[in-house]
Amino acid sequence: MLFPVLLGVTFLVFAIISLTPGDVAAMILGQNATTETVGKLRGEMGLDDPLPVQYGRYLGGMLHGDMGTSYATRKPVAAEIMSRFPNTLRLAILSIIISVTLSIPVGIISAVKQYSLWDNAGMVLALVGISMPSFWLGLMLIIAFALGLGWFPSGGADKWSSIILPAITLGVASTASIARTTRSSMLEVIRQDYIRTAKAKGVGKMKVILKHALRNAIIPTLTVIGLEFGELLGGAILTETVFSWPGIGRLMVDSIQRKDTPMVLGCVVVFSVAFSLVNLAIDILYAFVDPRIRTNYQRKGATR
């Protein structure tokens, strides 16, 4: 489904950007450019052609591995994106590590101690995390830990510590969703007969929870983790903008403001591919986590 998804997404973005106010040629040449100069540049860039023709030309270049040239920088789009992608990847990986480290224990404790103080506190924090805008949290962290205490830089990527605040900002939002999913899934599993049987046989409580319950409850959690990580790889646009993080999200915001259609489309393609590949990896991981899924695949293969 990757190819029809890319086709539909790129066409929608191409059409939306083309219909937004503003003249790309005039933006490139500046306010002092004459009408004749602007018209000449529009002709050279093919902007006077009908929208389907422009989109077809873009698809033709994509099929040959050419993502086009940026209107603003006049550099290849692929090179610009690949120079930013490692920063977004580092931020996404650290954010998801923070999120998983916090959320899964909270979800397990909330399920095991249902309706207790721990459960209520964990779910209230998860609700706050989901409801809290990431840009607001980012600004509060900057005020407290960058401007107030001076522990971390307020933006940029010059130091190793520059990634801490944006990673926490992104991790908090993801933590809430993963914790709630883990709790719901664990509540379903710990009521099953085989859990009661394991307890009746004298199996230790921690072993029952971690080996028997968590392993069977982890599939929905993995799904949410994959979705969250795919969104992070797609570029945390607001967070990267607040912290001036040189990633793909900030590049896309700048490109939209400059109406840099090739760069925006290139970012969208990278977002879509990254999200699809992460979901594919999670689907494959299901078979390693749950033997029943692997057995079903093997049975279907044998039947065929």
Task: For 43-85, write each residue's pLDDT tens digit.
Answer: 766 766 777 887 887 777 777 777 777 877 778 888 888 888 8
In a domain, 257, yes or no: yes
Q: Look at residue 143 and tell me whether its pLDDT is greater than 80.
A: yes
* DSSP element (H, E) containing 131: helix 117-131
What does the DSSP 8-state code read for residue 161?
G
Domain membership of residue 229 (yes or no) is yes
Q: Do 98 and 242 have their domain in common? A: yes
State whether 6 and 138 are in the same domain: no
* pLDDT > 80? residue 182: yes
- Written as one string, the DSSP assignment of 182-213 is HHHHHHHHTTSHHHHHHHHTT--HHHIIIIII
pTM over 0.85: no
Please check the confidence at residue 91 and state whether its pLDDT lies above 60.
yes
Residue 137 belongs to a domain: yes
Do 164 and 252 share a domain, yes or no? yes
The whole-number average pLDDT for the span 117-123 is 81
Query: Domain for residue 29, yes or no?
Result: yes
d(CA 7, CA 273): 12
Does one domain contain both 47 and 110?
no
Angle CA(128)–CA(190)–CA(104) in degrees, nearest 5? 35
Please state the domain count of the chain: 2
Higher-pLDDT residue of 96 and 212 is: 96
- In a shared domain, residues 49 and 14: yes
Q: Are residues 56 and 89 in the same domain?
A: no
pLDDT band at residue 291 using 50, 70 and 90 as cut-offs: low
Separate counts of helices (H) and strands (E) for the chain? 15, 0
Tell whether 161 and 31 lie within a shared domain.
no
- Domain assignment present for 272: yes
Question: Does residue 109 form part of some domain?
Answer: yes
Does 59 share its domain with 131?
no
For residue 270, give the nearest of 98, 87, 134 by alpha carbon: 87
pLDDT tens sequence across 226-283: 888 877 776 577 788 788 788 888 888 888 877 777 888 888 888 878 887 887 888 7
**Judgement on whether residues 238 and 165 belong to the same structural domain of the protein:** yes
110 & 49 share domain = no
Residues 145 and 237 placed together within one structural domain of the fold: yes
pLDDT of residue 103: 85
Note whether 175 and 126 are within 8 A (CB): yes
Q: Indicate whether 71 belongs to any domain.
A: no
pLDDT at 29: 66
**Residues whose CB falls within 8 Å of the CB of residue 228, separated by 6 or more in sequence, listed in order:** 96, 99, 174, 177, 178
Structural domain for 26, as ranges: 2-63
Note whether residue 78 is domain-resident.
Answer: no
Does 130 score more than 70 pLDDT?
yes
* Mean pLDDT of the 279-289 span: 78
CATH of the domain at 147: 1.10.3720.10
**Average pLDDT, rounded, for the chain:** 78
* Alpha carbon distance 127, 161 (integer Å): 28
Shared domain check, 149 and 40: no
Question: Is 69 strand, coil or helix?
Answer: strand
